[in-house]
Structure 1
Amino acid sequence: MTELSEFLRSRRARLSPEDVGLTPHGGRRRVPGLRREELAQLAGVSVAYYTRLEQGRGQNVSSSVLDAIADALGLSRAERDHLNHLVRPSRARKAGARPQRVRPAVQQLIDSMDNVPAYVVGRRLDVIAWNRMACALLGDYAAAPAHQRNMAWQIFLDPASRELYVEWERKAADIVAFLRLDAGRYPDDPQLAALVGELSVKSQEFRELWATHDVQDKGFGVKRIHHPVVGPLTLAYETLVLPSDAGQQLITYHAEPGSTSAESLRLLASWTLGATDSRTDAARPTA
């Protein structure tokens, strides 16, 4: 079964006829969620047409039909993007194995953020640049082997992450949803396939989350962290897309001014001043 088939089936399984205003057909339902014929009815296409698409035989499907199917399934923006990537693989898939480089100006920018943890994430959630505050808050990326400088690896295979993130289960689900979105964008990336394989073998929690086919793009929100040096922190995070650097996003953390977390973040900044500068070389390629 193709990735497209599994994704569409997982989205159908989330919905019941009652959810979308349909009267359930008689008889026992063998599978959860909407049947193919019910989804086809909602989208205004024939059952045969939708079945071909779900079986991976709909390469010539029109944008209007894809939009209708996405509307019928109630897909989010990230899910719509993922569906389009699966149906029409773009040139981006060929870029998956290229070395990732951070522009010197971007590294200089995050290094200038003295009290703001900041790092750059590339394809497959590789952490490809960071400042000293990011290392102080989240772990010393410079000291880690290259393949461990990865958000998914850190969450599922580094035991310290379970102590660091107060809401670890939510963080883990988000990370898998981010990674699944990248898998749709870069289906031919051998390093992404190797990462998914390693996590699947070593983490049952990853396997279970990966099987849900949930997708999500990084955005903004609040994270609660329990830091081993300064204690509990409630920090807002922002994700900034670097439009000239394909697949790269800058992530920053900050505390509400005047809060206990802001004071703790200042203490953490002071604590790191005497530490060795562990930032990445600005133009160093990362696997």
Structure 2
Amino acid sequence: MDQRTELSEFLRSRRARLQPEDVGLAHHGGRRRVPGLRREELAQLAGVSVAYYIRLEQGRGLNVSAAVLDAISDVLRLTPAERSHLAHLARPASRRLRTAPRTQQVRPAVQALMDTMEGVPAYVVGRRLDILGWNRLARALLGDFAAMPADERNTAWLVFLDPATRELYADWEDKASAVVAFLRRDVGRYPGDPRLCALIGELSAKSADFRRIWADHDVRDKNFGGKRMRHPVVGPLSLAYETLTLPADPDQQLVTYHAEPGSASALALRELARRAAEPVCSPRRRAERASAAP
């Protein structure tokens, strides 16, 4: 990914969100040629020269201090995730971590932990939103990860290119927006990751929805919240999710789902767990059972 372009488009998109009155500037009426704050207005509020800010927005190799980035972030009202993203994008090329450092694998102890969580869907997601590990109930809830090709075992690929996954999420647009914001975060951290660039290229080529949402330049970190699902086996589900960063690898996160105790979703999740725990029979074994039945 071209970091100069990413930096320029990110700053312009954040300026466009704000109006002068949002940051205490008087609006003198009349039609503004561009939406949002002007460059000179942002520079004034951040305490830097207009020329300096223009060079920064154009990504022209400045070694920007943390104080200046903080001032610009304050004016633009950036979230913590957006502040971190800006800091990565503004970092000089010589100091950027341009490639993902290593292949990610789930530690055996983490996989064993997930396997013990028989009533809780749990999976581990890594860089690029690759799905690295899962337990039986996550597989029953979200899809048969084990049967997927490795390059499709990715949350973004599934959300935008797999019809079954799209149908699973009742609030698909919210899910899609979050997924794109997570990918945008990784672009700032690993701009030279060839697999990330290939994934974004494929999604851009095959999904108009991805192209539309990608143009918003939103950035988020995974945390917690709720999801409404339409499961093909047990029906509607309202689930809460939690995201826990694994200390041995901050690029890996354990995601779990749970339902409110006593709710219809809790009963449905329990039924899904029961079905997932049933042994898988081969076609021959199923035929033998059927012939033996009275």
2:189 alignment partner, one of 163, 185, 190: 185
1:190-236 Cα deviation digits (max 9, x unpaired):
00000000000000000011111100110100100111111111100
1:213 alignment partner, one of 212, 217, 226: 217
Give the distance between the partners of 2:267 and 2:185, measured in 1 at CA. Answer: 36
CA separation of 1:226 and 1:75: change in aligned 2, threshold 3 A: same
Give the distance between the partners of 1:237 and 1:90, measured in 2 at CA. Answer: 38
Q: Which residue of 1 aligns with 2:137?
A: 133
2:151 alignment partner, one of 147, 151, 155: 147
Q: Which residue of 1 aligns with 2:69?
A: 66
1:106 alignment partner, one of 105, 110, 135: 110
The answer to whether the 8 Å contact 1:36/1:47 transfers is: yes
1:8-66 Cα deviation digits (max 9, x unpaired):
00000111111111113666422111000000111111111111110112531111110
Correspondence 1:1-287 to 2 at 5 A: 2-24=5-27, 28-57=31-60, 59-88=62-91, 93-96=97-100, 98-276=102-280
The answer to whether the 8 Å contact 2:55/2:62 transfers is: no
Equivalent position amino acid for 2:262 in 1: G
3-state SS of 1:33 partner: coil
The two structures, once aligned, show a CA RMSD in angstroms of 1.7
Identity %: 70
1:107-164 Cα deviation digits (max 9, x unpaired):
1011110010000000000000000100000000000000110000000000112221
Q: Which residue of 2 aligns with 1:282?
A: none
Give the distance between the partners of 1:275 and 1:48, measured in 2 at CA. Answer: 68
Note the residue ranges of structure 1 that are not aligned, 5 or more in a row: 278-287
Note the residue ranges of structure 2 that are not aligned, 5 or more in a row: 282-294
The answer to whether the 8 Å contact 2:246/2:252 transfers is: yes
Aligned pairs, number: 277
Equivalent position amino acid for 2:46 in 1: A
Larger radius of gyration between Structure 1 and Structure 2: 2
Equivalent position amino acid for 2:171 in 1: E
User: Greater relative contact order: 1 or 2 (C-alpha under 8 angstroms, separation 6 or more)?
Assistant: 1
3-state SS of 1:235 partner: strand
Superposition deviation, residue 98 in structure 1: 2.6
The answer to whether the 8 Å contact 2:88/2:96 transfers is: no
The answer to whether the 8 Å contact 1:97/1:191 transfers is: no
The answer to whether the 8 Å contact 1:97/1:189 transfers is: no
Give the distance between the partners of 2:255 and 2:196, measured in 1 at CA. Answer: 21
TM (norm. structure 1) is 0.93
The answer to whether the 8 Å contact 1:223/1:235 transfers is: yes
